[in-house]
């Protein structure tokens, strides 16, 4: 869209035409021309519209500051001749200081140079960079499909969004360079940050916030949030390149059920297609896809099919024929004026131009006719960097796309190919199933992709270092506005050792997205492929995933409402904690769970940092006070903790998320402190929650040396839950409590393994539980 603003001021920054726009008091945009005029600004990321309004002033104050603008409490000053920019609020808050020359032309692009403090910390950038915290490096953003990539190279989904956390006061500035070409973020020196485009105008959004949580709320206000996903998307998924023919797929499904390992989704990779022709089926391998998908669905498995962009050049093939009949439905080779030809799995292909609404609409219909109408539940977009086996491994610069009538060379819009493809898949599902919740998985992405799709981290390797790296990627994706992320469990290329697979699934089940996937030339990688010991670990961990789904779903609902990550870096939840700021080998799932994976071989214990408060260990009931502690972590017993004071809703284990109604739910309460928790429920499948068909239950109370008082609040919203009673587990009494009352009346309870347990009827009005120590 074309972003709009409350106020726009046209000016010059040095020799460069520039424009400043205010979206609100905390979000503004500085657009600087690389050429003689400002380019037209069309954004694939920004969706926010200006709302409300605050007083605006604009003065030429002095010779030095040619402009001083205030919008509400925010002040922006520009020194024209020297091209300096300052943004501040109040007397003392300096958000952005770019003393002259703050803006300069570098090559064919524009560079911003801002002051920074050596201790400032940087996060975000999507999948860019080896380290969790980003300072010390120059990051060049250019999405690529390089099968031999390493962490310092370009990845599939790099987001030109950088978070700066200021050391002195914890205030945060987010910088979004809305440039779908190549972007650079240079943080090599401590006192300066440089942000630049390789070519063309620089459009820099500056977002200001008092905390990282507030900043992400603003960032996802600007670029959108994910929607509540379907519940099945949060279960365990099994994938391989490729399960075929049909009998093998049925065999895998049968194994899951026979072995009682929960599973919600199976994936069909490229070999389901006829010669890799998108929107076709291989008639020998899959003679009756609707029959197969229907049988799988009856057994609780959703089917997800891969959809690649390249359309095989084959006049006999209807998708190709139809697209060819429309002018510019394929991306155009600007030199020849004909569709651009690349090479991917089907051989020679043309690539659809997903920036065009007519292409998106027709592609979406084809997706419905050949996949969704047969029962396919989700769409998996791959190869959308876009990948090309021919040099330069993507589109050459002379490829052009419709792009709202803008004809810019490919290198200027490279980053949005995957984004617009994910948009196409999403819109296609919305159109075909208006009341359903789309599930799209994409490899490439641009800022704002969370509106359409989750993002998986692509072809990782079955090696220990890649496992640790994936964890940090997840955290920075979360800090980039993309909450729904995950890596291929066990690693994609190479074969994991049994120990590596076990360690991977030990934390992998706490990711937002939980899928095992492996490449075509690797051994089997199902949870049972590594022998009985690893199978049992995998089952136990996937069972924990299933048990925790009410809690996890609530975290997703929060993420959908506020833009908070699902997997959170410790620094997100504990921004004032000095020890937490660089931790990237531990993470939080929501605010009540923390996971400290074992990321090295033959490791029986590890150092864990416990931020803020005390934490209780999942397996042992051991209690760790705030600080650094060594935690025993034998294989099969990963360090997983619940926050003291957390009230965590859980479910019994089911083999898949639609496996019958559940009458008895568990509420786990963890000593000590103020108690808090929340449960968001809805049908987990449709859009009806938007009109109030949801149920929200809040938990509160306190646990101290007298005992525990737990309030289960009244249920808000009109969703009718299947729950009949709560099994309340109280974790943390030293000894058997003296007595327990529910609604003022004494009740019987059990005392097992130092956990006190009662059963309480579920009341819509809520209830109070008192346990005396």
Question: What b/e string do you get for 479-493 counting C-beta neighbours within 10 Å, with b at 16 or more?
Answer: bbbbbbbbbbbbbbb
Q: Binding to ligand MIG by residue 443, rule CB under 6 A?
A: yes
Q: Which is nearer to ligand MIG, 444 or 721 (CB)?
A: 444
Q: Which is nearer to ligand MIG, 132 or 155 (CB)?
A: 155
Nearest distance, CB of residue 90 and ligand MIG, angstroms: 48
- Which residues within the stretch 477-496 sit at the binding site for ligand MIG (CB under 6 A)? 492
> CB 382 → ligand MIG: shortest distance, Å?
5
Please report how close the Cβ of residue 520 comes to ligand MIG at its closest, in angstroms: 7
DSSP 100-123: SSSEEEETEEEEEEEE--TT-EEE
- Tell me: does residue 459 bind ligand MIG (CB under 6 A): yes
Would residue 279 be called left, alpha or beta, if left means φ above 0 and alpha means ψ between -120 and 50 degrees? Answer: left
- ∠ Cα 540 544 550 (to 5°): 160
Q: How far is the CB of 443 from ligand MIG (least distance, A)?
A: 6
Question: Given the complex with ligand MIG, which of 120 and 269 has the nearer CB atom?
Answer: 269
385 scored as a contact of ligand MIG (CB under 6 A): no
Distance of alpha carbon 383 from alpha carbon 514, whole angstroms: 21
Residues 146-175 that bind ligand MIG (CB under 6 A): none
Q: With contacts defined by CB under 6 A, how many residues of the chain interact with ligand MIG?
A: 11
Q: How far apart are alpha carbons 232 and 540 in whole angstroms?
A: 19
In three state form, how does the secondary structure of 256-309 look? HHHHCCCCCEEEECHHHCCCCCCCCCCCCCCCCHHHHHHHHHHCCCEEEEEECC
Does residue 372 contact residue 433 with C-beta atoms inside 8 Å?
A: yes
In terms of C-beta density within 10 A (0-12 exposed, 13-18 middle, 19 or more buried), how is residue 551 classed?
buried
- CA 585 to chain CA centroid, Å, is 18
Q: Does 312 bind ligand MIG (CB under 6 A)?
A: no
The residue behind tokens 């996949």 is 371
| Closer residue to ligand MIG in complex, CB, 241/286 | 241
Among 103, 306, 483, 728, binds ligand MIG (CB under 6 A): 306
* Contacts to ligand MIG from residues 514-553, by CB under 6 A: 517
The minimum distance between CB 427 and ligand MIG, in angstroms, equals 23
Return the SS3 of 124: strand
> Which residue, 762, 672, 659, is CA-closest to 709?
672
Ranges within 194-223 binding ligand MIG (CB under 6 A)? none
Distance CA 181, CA 697 (A): 46
Q: Which of 659, 569, 180, 672 is nearest to 412 (CA)?
A: 180
Can you tell me the distance from the alpha carbon of 314 to that of 316, in angstroms, rounded to the nearest whole number? 5
Q: Angle at CA 416, nearest 5°, toward 414 and 418? A: 105
Q: Is 382 in the site for ligand MIG (CB under 6 A)?
A: yes
Rounded least distance, CB 270 to ligand MIG, Å: 4
| Min CB(514)–ligand MIG separation in Å | 15
Residue 292, interface with ligand MIG (CB under 6 A)?
no
Least distance (Å) between residue 242 CB and ligand MIG: 7
Min CB(241)–ligand MIG separation in Å: 3
Please give the Cα distance from 425 to 427 (Å, whole number): 6
Query: Given the complex with ligand MIG, which of 225 and 517 has the nearer CB atom?
Result: 517
Whether 576 is catalytic is no
**Is the distance from CB of 562 to CB of 591 less than 8 angstroms?**
no
| Closest distance of CB 252 from ligand MIG, Å | 15
Q: Which residue, 266 or 589, has its beta carbon nearer to ligand MIG?
A: 266
128 interacts with ligand MIG by CB under 6 A: no
- Has 385 been annotated as catalytic? yes
Question: Could you say which residues in the range 390-419 bind ligand MIG, by CB under 6 A?
Answer: none
Residue 292 CB, nearest distance to ligand MIG (Å)? 19
Dmax over Cα atoms in the chain, in whole Å?
Answer: 85
- Catalytic residue status for 577: no
Query: Which of 427, 459, 681, 729 is an active site residue?
Result: 459
Q: Which of 224, 229, 438, 458 binds ligand MIG (CB under 6 A)?
A: 458
Question: Closer to ligand MIG at the Cβ: 206 or 344?
Answer: 344
Residue 618 to residues 322, 654, 664, 758, Cα–Cα distance (Å): 57, 20, 21, 20
Looking at beta carbons only, is 186 or 274 nearer to ligand MIG?
274
Phi, psi of 389 (to 5 degrees): -70, -25
Task: CB nearer to ligand MIG: give 270 or 769.
Answer: 270
**What residues numbered 231-260 form the site for ligand MIG, per CB under 6 A?**
241
Give the nearest residue (CB) to ligand MIG. Answer: 241
309/394 Cα distance (integer angstroms): 12
| b (16+ CB within 10 A) / e for 737-761 | beebebeeeeeebeeeeeebebebe
**Catalytic one of 333, 382, 495, 682:** 382
Q: What are phi and psi for residue 760, nearest 5 degrees?
A: -130, 130
Which residues inside 56-95 make contact with ligand MIG, applying CB under 6 A?
Answer: none
Nearest CB to ligand MIG, comparing residues 228 and 277: 277
Is residue 270 a contact point for ligand MIG (CB under 6 A)? yes
Query: Residues 268, 276: contact at Cβ < 8 Å?
Result: no
Residue (of 420, 425, 421, 401) closest to 411 by Cα position = 401
Is 470 a binding residue for ligand MIG by CB under 6 A? The answer is no
By beta-carbon proximity to ligand MIG, the closer residue of 20 and 306 is 306
Judged by CB under 6 A, the residue of 269, 385, 495, 535 near ligand MIG is 269
Among the listed residues 511, 515, 520, the one whose alpha carbon sits nearest the alpha carbon of residue 490 = 515
Of 333, 385, 526, 585, the active-site residue reads 385
Binding site for ligand MIG (CB under 6 A): 241, 269-270, 306, 382-383, 443, 458-459, 492, 517
Q: Which residues are known catalytic residues?
A: 382, 385, 459
């Amino acid at each position: 869209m074309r972003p709009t603003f409350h106020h726009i001021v046209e000016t010059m920054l040095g020799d460069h035409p520039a424009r400043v726009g205010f979206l609100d008091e905390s979000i503004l945009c500085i657009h600087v021309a690389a050429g003689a005029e400002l380019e037209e600004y069309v954004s694939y990321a920004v969706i926010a519209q200006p709302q409300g309004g605050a007083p605006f002033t604009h003065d030429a104050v002095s010779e030095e500051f040619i402009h001083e603008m205030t919008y509400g409490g925010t002040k922006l000053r520009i020194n024209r001749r020297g091209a300096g920019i300052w943004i501040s609020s109040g007397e003392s808050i300096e958000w952005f200081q770019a003393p002259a020359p703050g803006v300069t032309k570098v090559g064919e692009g524009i560079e911003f140079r801002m002051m920074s403090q050596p201790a400032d910390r940087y996060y975000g950038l999507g999948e860019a960079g080896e380290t969790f915290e980003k300072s010390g490096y120059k990051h060049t953003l250019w999405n690529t499909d390089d099968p031999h990539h390493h962490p310092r190279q370009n990845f599939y989904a790099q987001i030109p969004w950088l978070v700066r956390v200021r050391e002195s006061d914890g205030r945060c500035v987010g910088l979004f360079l809305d440039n779908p070409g190549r972007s650079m973020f240079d943080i090599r020196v401590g006192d300066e940050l440089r942000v630049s485009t390789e070519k063309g105008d620089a459009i820099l959004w500056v977002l200001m916030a008092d905390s990282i949580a507030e900043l992400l709320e603003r960032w996802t206000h600007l670029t959108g949030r994910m929607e509540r996903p379907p519940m099945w998307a949060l279960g365990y998924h099994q994938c391989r390149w490729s399960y075929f023919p049909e009998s093998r797929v049925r065999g895998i499904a049968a194994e899951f059920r026979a072995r009682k390992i929960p599973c919600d989704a199976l994936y069909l990779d490229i070999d389901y297609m006829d010669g890799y022709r998108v929107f076709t089926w291989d008639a020998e391998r899959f003679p009756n896809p609707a029959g197969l998908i229907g049988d799988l669905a009856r057994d609780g498995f959703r089917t997800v099919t891969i959809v690649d962009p390249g359309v095989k050049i084959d006049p006999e093939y209807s998708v190709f024929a139809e697209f060819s009949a429309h002018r510019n439905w394929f991306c155009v080779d600007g030199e020849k004026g004909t569709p651009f030809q690349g090479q991917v799995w089907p051989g020679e292909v043309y690539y659809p131009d997903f920036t065009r609404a007519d292409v998106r609409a027709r592609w979406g219909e084809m997706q419905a006719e050949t996949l969704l109408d047969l029962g396919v539940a989700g769409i998996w977009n791959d190869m959308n960097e876009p990948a090309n086996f021919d040099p330069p491994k993507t589109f050459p610069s002379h490829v052009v796309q419709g792009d709202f009538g803008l004809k810019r060379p490919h290198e200027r819009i490279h980053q949005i190919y995957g984004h617009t493809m994910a948009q196409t898949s999403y819109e296609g599902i919305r159109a075909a199933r208006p009341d359903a919740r789309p599930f799209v998985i994409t490899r490439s992405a641009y800022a704002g992709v969370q509106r359409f799709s989750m993002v998986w981290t692509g072809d990782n390797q079955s090696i220990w270092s890649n496992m640790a790296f994936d964890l940090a990627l997840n955290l920075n994706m979360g800090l980039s506005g993309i909450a729904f992320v995950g890596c291929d469990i066990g690693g994609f290329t190479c074969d994991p050792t049994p120990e590596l697979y076990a360690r991977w699934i030990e934390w992998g089940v706490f990711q937002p997205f939980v899928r095992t996937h492996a490449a075509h030339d690797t051994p089997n990688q199902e949870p049972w492929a590594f022998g009985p010991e690893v199978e049992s670990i995998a089952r136990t961990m996937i069972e924990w995933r299933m048990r925790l789904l009410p809690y996890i779903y609530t975290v997703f609902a929060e993420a959908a409402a506020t833009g908070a990550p699902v997997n959170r870096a410790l620094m997100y939840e504990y921004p004032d904690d000095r020890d937490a700021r660089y931790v990237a080998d531990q993470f939080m799932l929501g605010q009540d769970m923390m996971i400290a994976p074992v990321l090295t071989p033959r490791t029986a214990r590890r150092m864990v940092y416990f931020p803020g408060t005390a934490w209780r260990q999942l397996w042992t009931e051991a209690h760790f006070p705030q600080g650094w502690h060594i935690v025993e972590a034998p294989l099969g017993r990963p360090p997983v903790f619940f926050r003291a004071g957390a009230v965590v809703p859980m479910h019994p284990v089911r083999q898949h998320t639609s496996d019958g109604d559940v009458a008895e739910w568990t509420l786990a309460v963890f000593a000590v402190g103020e108690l808090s928790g929340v449960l968001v429920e809805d049908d987990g499948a449709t859009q009806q929650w938007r009109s109030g068909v949801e149920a929200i239950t809040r938990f509160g109370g306190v646990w101290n040396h007298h005992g525990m008082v737990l309030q289960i609040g009244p249920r808000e919203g009109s969703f009718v839950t299947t729950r009949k009673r709560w099994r309340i587990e109280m974790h943390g009494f030293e000894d058997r409590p003296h007595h327990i009352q529910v609604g003022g009346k004494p009740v019987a309870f059990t005392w097992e393994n130092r956990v006190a347990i009662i059963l309480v009827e579920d009341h819509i009005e809520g209830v109070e539980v008192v346990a005396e120590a």
